[in-house]
Amino acid sequence: MSLDGEAAQALIPEQLLPSHAPAALTVASAVADRILDRVFDEELERWGRMDSHFREPLLALRRFVDSGGKRLRPSFCYWAAVGSGVDPENPLLARAMAGLEFLHTFALVHDDVMDNSATRRGEPSLHQRYRMDHLREGLRGSPEHYGNAMAILAGDLAFALADRMFQPLGFRPRQVFSELKVEVNLGQYLDIAGGVMRESSLERSERTAIYKSAKYTVERPMHIGSALSGGSDRALALISKFAVPLGLAFQLKDDILGAFGDAAVTRKPVGDDLREGKPTLLVALARRELSPEERSVFDEHFGQAGLDTDGIGILQRLIAGSGAVGRLEDRIDGLLQEAVDVLDRLPFTREARIALAELTAFVVDREA
C-alpha cells in the first residue's frame, strides 16, 4: 500500500509494534494518568471520610484503570485539542481525557458482565474478581449474582465520574460527549442482539463496528478535542473523514485478533469472540463464502460458551479457509488509506498531524 503526504511520512520509516508505543501515545497517556490519579486520590479521600466502605468500589475501579489500558481515546482527544491550539496544560483538556477513560472503563466492565468474560487484560474481570471474593469469604447468596451486581455498580460509578469530568466544560464538548454516550450504547445493543441471531449481514456487522467502536474510539474523542478550541462544523466534518475509517480499521483489526490473536499478547483467551458469537464482519465474510455443509459445521460450534480448544480450532480453520481474513485485511488497508489521504488536510499543527500518523500506525499494526 502506498502512503502519500507529509504527515503520512511518519508511517514509513518502520512499522510500530504494540510493545513499542509511539511518543504520541506516551505523551498523551502521561497527561491522562496524572489527572486520573488526582481524581482517584480526591474521591478516595472524600468518600473515605464519610464511610471507609465507600473506598472499596473506588479502589476496584482504580485497579482496573491502572491495569494496562492503552489510553487511545484520551490520546486522540489530546492531539485534536493541542493541534487546534489548546494549551497542553489546560485543565479542561485533562478533565475531558479523564472523562473519556472513565467512560471506557464503564463500557469494558459492563461488556465483561454481558459477555460473561472471565478475564480482562490478563487478569480476572471485575465481576469474576467479586465472585472469587464471595467464595473466599463465604458470603451468603449466589456468587454469580453478587459478582455481576457489584461490577455493574462499579461500571455505573465510572459512568458517573465520566459525567463529572465533563461538567465544567463548554456546551459543545458536553454535547459531543452526550452523543457519544448514546452511540456507544446503541452500538453495544447491535452487538448483543446480533450475537443471538443465526446470521448477520455485512451491512449490519459493519454498522455495529462503527457505532460500538469506530466513532467511540477515534471520531468523538477527536471531536471533543476540537470542540475545546471552538472548532467549526467544517473542522468536525473533516475530522470524521479521517477518524471513522481509522476507527473502523481499529475494530476490524480487533476482530482478527479476537479470533486468531496470541493469548500471551492480547491477554485474553484465544477465540473468545467465537465462543461469544460476536457478529463481526470477519464472521459475516466467512459465512458468506462457506459451502452449505461448512456453514452447518460453523453454526454448530459458533457461539457455544463451552467451546473447547478443538472447537475453536475448527472455527479458525473454516474462517481461514474461506479467505475472510485476507479480505478483511484488504478492507483494513483500504480504510487506512482513506484516513491517511485526509491526514494532511486536518486543521491541526504539523506536530499534531505527525502524532496522529503515529497513532494511525499503532492501532492497525498492533498485536494486542
- Cα–Cα distance measured from residue 163 to residue 271, given in angstroms and rounded to the nearest whole number: 34
Ramachandran bin of 16, using left for φ above 0, alpha for ψ from -120 to 50, beta for the remaining angles? beta
Per-residue pLDDT of the chain (368 residues; tens, 9 = 90+): 334 445 444 443 333 334 578 999 999 999 999 999 999 999 999 999 999 999 999 999 999 999 888 999 999 999 999 999 999 999 999 999 999 999 999 999 999 999 888 888 889 999 999 999 999 999 999 999 999 999 999 999 999 999 999 999 999 999 999 999 999 999 999 999 988 886 678 999 999 999 999 999 999 999 999 999 999 999 999 999 999 999 999 999 999 998 987 777 767 777 888 998 888 999 999 999 999 999 999 999 998 888 899 999 999 999 999 999 999 999 999 999 999 999 999 999 999 999 999 999 998 887 76
Is the CA virtual torsion 342, 202, 73, 275 positive or negative? negative
**What is the pLDDT, as a whole number, of residue 12?**
34
Burial of residue 137 (number of CB atoms within 10 Å: 0-12, 13-18, 19+): exposed
Query: What confidence tens digit (pLDDT) does each residue in 204-252 have?
Result: 999 999 999 999 999 999 999 999 999 999 999 999 999 999 999 999 9
Question: Which DSSP category does 117 fall into?
Answer: -
How many angstroms separate the first and last alpha carbons of the chain?
22
215, 247 in Cβ contact below 8 A? Answer: yes
- Cα–Cα distances in angstroms (integers) from residue 192 to residues 112, 242, 291, in the given order: 12, 28, 26
Furthest-apart CA atoms within the chain: distance in Å: 64
Strands (E), the chain: 119-120, 123-124
- Cα–Cα distance measured from residue 267 to residue 262, given in angstroms and rounded to the nearest whole number: 8
Q: What is the 3 state secondary structure string of 265-284?
A: HHCCCCCHHHHHCCCCHHHH
C-alpha cell at 366: 498492533
**What is the pLDDT, as a whole number, of residue 198?**
67
C-alpha cell at 57: 468500589
Q: What is the 3 state secondary structure string of 236-254?
A: HHHHHHHHHHHHHHHHHHH
125, 272 in Cβ contact below 8 A? Answer: no
Crossing angle, helix 23-50 and helix 350-365, to 10 degrees?
A: 80
Residue from 4, 14, 5 nearest 358 by CA: 14
Apex 248 CA angle, 241 and 355, nearest 5: 65
Query: What confidence tens digit (pLDDT) does each residue in 235-248 have?
Result: 999 999 999 999 99
Length in residues, the chain: 368
The full set of domains in the chain, from first to last, is 7-365 (1.10.600.10)
**Virtual CA dihedral for 265, 266, 271, 273, nearest 10 degrees?**
-170
pTM check: above 0.75: yes
